[in-house]
Each structure stands twice: as C-alpha cells, then as structure tokens.
Amino acid sequence: MIDTLPILEKRALSAQEFHALKAMPPELEWYANIRSEKTRRAYRNDVKELSRFLGITEPEEMRMVTRAHMLA
C-alpha cells in the first residue's frame, strides 16, 4: 500500500525546530533548490558582487535588501 499523505501531514516541525529556522544562513535559503553546481557558482558570484556594491559585510544584512536596492 502506498502512503499518499502529503509530507507536511507526516511530520510537523517542533516549536524548537521552527524557531531554529530563523538562524539558517541566508545563502542556504537562496541555494536550497538549485541543483546545478554551475548555477550555484554563478549565483555565489552575483551575491558577492551585490554584497560588495551594497557594502554588506554580514550575511544577515542581505535580509534587509529591498527591490529598490536591486534596481540601483
């Protein structure tokens, strides 16, 4: 018999696991769904260039980047 329950119904995050997600480094979020190593490398280079342009020194600061920053 095949279990057809969606993954979310099989296991829910505990409160501790849920709150720990906010500590995930932003770069892991951005690259989570990218399978191609070439694409990951290109994105890493883009993020480094954007960080340098915006004067970002800490990964957490990336969470404050807005659409206006990207347009600049």
- Give the range of the structural domain holding residue 50, as residue numbers without chain letter: 25-71
User: What's the number of domains the chain is made of?
Assistant: 1
| 55 φψ region: left (φ > 0), alpha (ψ -120 to 50), beta (else) | left
Domain membership flag for residue 34 = yes
**pLDDT for residue 8:** 55
Domain membership flag for residue 56 = yes
Q: What is the pLDDT of residues 23-71, one digit of tens each?
A: 777 677 777 788 898 998 998 898 889 889 989 998 778 888 888 888 8
Domain membership flag for residue 64 = yes
54 contacts 69 by C-beta, under 8 angstroms: yes
Domain membership flag for residue 42 = yes
